[in-house]
Amino acid sequence: MRKHTKLTRFIALAMCLTLTCMLLSGCGKKTKIIGTLNLINYAEYLDPEMLELFTEETGIEVKMDEALTPEEMYTKYSSGAIKYDLVCTADYMLKKMIDDNEFQKIPWDQMEYKDNIGSKYYDFCKAFDPNNDYCLPHFWGTIGILYDTTKVKAPIDSWEVLFNGEYAGDIIMQNSMRDTFMITLKYLGYSLNTDNEDEIRKAQELLIKQKPDVQAYLVDEVRDEVVAGNAIMGVIYSGEAYLGRESNPNLEYVVPKEGSNVWIDCIAITKHCENTEYAAKFLDFLCREDVAKANFEYIYFSTPNIKVIESLSDEEKEDPTLVPPEDSIVNCEVCTQTDKKVTELMSQLWKELKSE
C-alpha cells in the first residue's frame, strides 16, 4: 500500500512547493497590453524592472530571449523559429546581419532622446553601420588584462606577459575564438580585422606555444578566478574588471599598449518587425536618462549615454573600467571581420588549438 501513496505524496509535496512559489512571486499588476515586441539579448543585459516600467508606461510588452554569445543569438535568429523584432548583439554580428539585409532603418525622427547617446559612440558604429541607419549603442567597453598587483613583479602594460612564460600556469584566457585571436593579432602588431592567412596562422602558432602556460580557457568566472587568487591574471572585458576590483581592491585592469579590441553592443530593429513605431518607442525609452542609469547600475558596463556619464561621481568617472579614457583606446579597433573564409579558417585553427 505504501508504494501507492509515494507518488501521490510526492505530487502533494511538489504542489506545496509550487504554491509557495506562486505566493513568492506575487501577483503582478496588469496593464492593458496593446502590443508585443520580441527581443533577443545577452542574458542580464537589461534591468528587468525597466521592461516592466516600459510596459506600464506604454502598454507594450517586451518579451526578452537571452543568450550568452552572439553566435548563440544568430543560431536562434537564423533558424526562423521566432520572429524577433529587436536584436541586441555585438559589432561583428551586427555587420554580418546588416550585410545580410536583416535589419530595417531606425526611425530616428520618432526618437526624442536619441542625442543622449554621445556622438562619439555613433561614430564607433560607423565601422559597421556607415550611415548610422540601423544601430543604437547599448553598452561598450574594451578587452584587457585583469591582474593581481601583489603577485606581479612589475605593473603590466603589454600583452607580452601572456606569452613570455613568466607567469606560466597562472594565466586565464577567454574561451572565445574571436577574443583570443584578436588580442594575439594585436600583440603581433597586426590588425585584428586581418584577412591575411599567414598572420592568422602566426597567431595560432603563438597560441599553441602558449597553451601549456594557460591555466584555463574560461567562458565565465575569469573574474572570480582572479579574485580568488587561483590565477594571477586573466583576459577580461572592462565591465567585468570593474566588478572584480569591487571585491578585491588589489586588482588592476589594463588595456595593453599594443592596442586591443573596443567592442560595442547595439540594438537594431529586424526586418521581421511589423510595428516599427513600438520598436522606436522602446529604443527611445532605453535612451532616457533614468532608464539608461538603471541599466547601467544593473550591470556596470560602460554606457554610451552621456547624461548618465555626467551624473557619475568623480571617482567613477575616472575609473578606466567604467569610462574607458580616450588615450587607452587610441590603438584599439572595432571588430568588423565577418568574411566567411576568415571565420572558417579561424574556427579550424581554434579547434586545432583546443585539441592540442
Return the residues of window 5-24 that contact other proteins according to CB under 8 A. 5-7, 9-11, 13-14, 16-18, 20-22, 24
Of 218 and 255, the one with the shorter C-beta distance to other proteins is 218
* Residues ≥6 apart with Cβ < 8 Å to 9: none
User: Which residues from 195-234 bind other proteins, rule CB under 8 A?
Assistant: 211, 214-221, 223-225, 227-230
Q: Is 48 a binder of other proteins (CB under 8 A)?
A: yes
Q: How far apart are CA 172 and CA 218, in angstroms?
A: 7
Of 177 and 294, the one with the shorter C-beta distance to other proteins is 177
Over the window 53 to 92, marking each residue x when it contacts other proteins by CB under 8 A and - when it does not, the resulting string is: ----------xxxxxxx-xx-xxx--xxxx-x--------
Half-sphere exposure of 201 (CA within 13 A, CB side): 3
Of 4 and 32, the one with the shorter C-beta distance to other proteins is 4
Phi/psi-derived region of residue 97, left when phi > 0, alpha when psi is between -120 and 50, beta in every other case: alpha
Of 328 and 338, the one with the shorter C-beta distance to other proteins is 338
Distance of closest approach, residue 245 Cβ to other proteins, in angstroms: 11
Q: Is 163 a binder of other proteins (CB under 8 A)?
A: no
User: Which residues from 296-315 bind other proteins, rule CB under 8 A?
Assistant: 299
* Own/partner pairs, 242-251, CB within 8 angstroms, 24+ separation: 242/300, 242/319, 242/321, 242/322, 243/300, 244/146, 245/146, 245/321, 248/148, 250/148, 250/149, 250/150, 251/146, 251/147, 251/148, 251/149, 251/226, 251/227
Phi, psi torsion values for 204, nearest 5 degrees:
-65, -40
Q: Is 325 a binder of other proteins (CB under 8 A)?
A: no
Could you tell me how many residues make up the chain? Answer: 356
User: Which residues from 114-153 bind other proteins, rule CB under 8 A?
Assistant: none
Distance of closest approach, residue 45 Cβ to other proteins, in angstroms: 9
The region of 2-10, 181-189, 308-316, 321-329 touching other proteins under the rule CB under 8 A is 2-10
24 is written with which cell numbers?
513568492
Q: Cite the DSSP H helix spans in 229-270.
A: 238-247
Distance of closest approach, residue 310 Cβ to other proteins, in angstroms: 26
Q: How far apart are CA 228 and CA 178, in angstroms?
A: 26
**Residue of 110, 248, 275, 336 that binds other proteins (CB under 8 A):** 248
CA 133 to centroid of chain Cα atoms: 21
Of 216 and 312, the one with the shorter C-beta distance to other proteins is 216
Distance of closest approach, residue 131 Cβ to other proteins, in angstroms: 27
How many chain residues bind other proteins (CB under 8 A)?
79
What's the sign of the alpha-carbon dihedral 115, 119, 120, 126?
A: positive
Of 231 and 334, the one with the shorter C-beta distance to other proteins is 231
CA angle 345, 347, 348 (to 5 degrees): 65
Distance of closest approach, residue 162 Cβ to other proteins, in angstroms: 15
The region of 107-115, 196-204, 238-246, 310-318 touching other proteins under the rule CB under 8 A is 238-246
* Residues ≥6 apart with Cβ < 8 Å to 215: 169, 170, 171, 172, 225, 230, 231
